[in-house]
Amino acid sequence: MNMYVKRIALAAAFIVGLSIPQAEAQLKGGDNLVNVGIGFGSAYAYGSGFKGFPAVSVAFERVIPKELGPGLLAVGGIISYRNITHKYNDYEGDSFKTKYANTVIGIRGTYHWEQLNTEKYDVYGGVQTGLRFENYRSKWIEEDVKERYTHFYGSVIVGGRYYFASNISAFAEVGYDVTWTKLGISFKF
């Protein structure tokens, strides 16, 4: 008897959950979004002793005015930058310095599925692609080596926003450009 009551209660809760009207989603067609964030985690194994600030990124997206299936599509771009250095003095007093700088300029598209989004939450997934510019410089005694590389990159991204106000939110995102994760503030206008 106890199992029967639990099943009825679970079925009733499910039916009530389906009948509650959903909150209106925060995004609508024509909205613009700007993410300003810092990033952590790198695919490069620089080794110990390297120091630098977290990566900085700015992304812009415009929500397409027409719904695409059960959600909205947004398109835009991203710029990310990260710089790290390592300084070393050997036992003879000679100095050694290495510097890596990575810049990404890319385009991105995100899909915001309305079933997951409310007035406070915006969950999205997407892809981004673009160019990565890598600069390497090494100075040791009298030797100064500079190298530059440019190549394509692509990434799948998953993220979310929590709205504090109708146009300001905190965001978190996972997906690689110059770091694996990003945290920051997002503005909607």
Domain-located, residue 2: no
DSSP 115: G
Model pLDDT, residue 54? 84
Q: Any idea what the CATH number is for the domain that residue 147 is in?
A: 2.40.160.20
Strand 168-174 relative to strand 95-113: parallel, antiparallel, unpaired? unpaired
> How high is the pLDDT of residue 131?
96
Is residue 7 in a domain?
no
In a domain, 14, yes or no: no
Please tell me the predicted confidence (pLDDT) of residue 110: 96
Residue 98: which H helix or E strand, with range? strand 95-113
* 8 inside domain: no
Q: How many residues does the chain have?
A: 189
Which residue shows structure tokens 């990003």?
182
Structural domain includes residue 24:
no
Cα-based distances in Å from 52 to 25, 40, 143, 170: 39, 11, 23, 24
What pLDDT was estimated at residue 105? Answer: 97
Asked if residue 11 belongs to a domain, the reply is no
Question: Given this model, what pLDDT does residue 171 score?
Answer: 96
User: Does residue 65 sit within a domain?
Assistant: yes
Consecutive 10-residue averages of pLDDT for the chain (189 residues): 51 43 63 93 59 87 88 95 82 79 95 86 94 89 87 94 93 90 94
pTM: 0.74
The pLDDT assigned to 6 comes to 52
Q: Show the domain range for 126.
A: 29-188
Whether 89 maps to a domain, the answer reads yes
Total domains in the fold of the chain: 1
Is the torsion defined by CA of 116, 124, 157, 178 positive or negative? negative
Question: According to the model, what pLDDT value does residue 87 have?
Answer: 79
What gap in Å lies between CA 77 and CA 112, rounded to an integer? 16
